[in-house]
Amino acid sequence: MKVLDARFVTSAVDARGIPADGIPHVAFVGRSNVGKSSLLNALVKRDLARTSAAAGKTRLANLYKVTVDGGPGGPGQWTVCFADLPGYGYARGGASSADELRAVAEAYYREAMDARRITLLLVDARHPGLETDLAAAAWLDGMQVARKIVATKVDKLSRAEGAGLTAQAE
């Protein structure tokens, strides 16, 4: 599979800002600074989404249109929208800021509810089973959102911890 084009489309603060173009969506969800934007950049093989060592950099639903050639559907071009959502668990500005970020995520899911959408719930491999991650999974399940768990920061684990993670996944 080859990425032909990857570009920023828009930043949405509410459902009105999310394009209704009918293409499949993949949403990146997770705690602040878990690596959502970094994973997006790795998948498109370029620095497209802004990243920062400081938590809470993504404040809006940032949407990117990605066109690829090949993949699971066989030869041919297809397009997908990557949605980089604000992280949870940390918000500069306290509770009111956290409420604002939650509203952005809720607006995305209100608009994006259809079978052509999937969510990648990113969790830090060094801290499995955090209450905030479990709450996010329950929230997504309650909204009947298809989701897959993606472990990030695996490179930060010791060799023994990495081996244990691999054994758990099998």
- pTM for the whole structure: 0.83
List the CATH number of the domain containing 154. Answer: 3.40.50.300
Range of the structural domain that residue 156 is part of: 2-169
Residue 149 has pLDDT above 90, yes or no: yes
Alpha helices in the chain (DSSP H): 36-44, 94-111, 131-142, 159-169
Side-chain half-sphere exposure of 116, counting CA atoms within 13 A: 11
**Which tokens belong to 131?**
């209450």
Report the candidate in 23, 30, 27, 20 with the shortest Cα–Cα distance to residue 111: 20
Looking at residue 26, its pLDDT comes to: 92
Q: Write down the number of H helices and E strands in the chain.
A: 4, 6
Side-chain half-sphere exposure of 18, counting CA atoms within 13 A: 25
Total domains in the chain come to 1
Residue 134 has pLDDT above 70, yes or no: yes
pLDDT digits (tens, 9 = 90+) for 115-125: 578 899 999 99
How high is the mean pLDDT of the chain? 81
Per mean pLDDT, which range of 36-45, 57-66, 145-154 is the poorest?
57-66
Strands (E), 31-128: 61-69, 77-84, 117-124
pLDDT digits (tens, 9 = 90+) for 45-104: 999 988 876 665 667 889 999 999 987 666 788 899 999 988 876 655 445 545 665 777
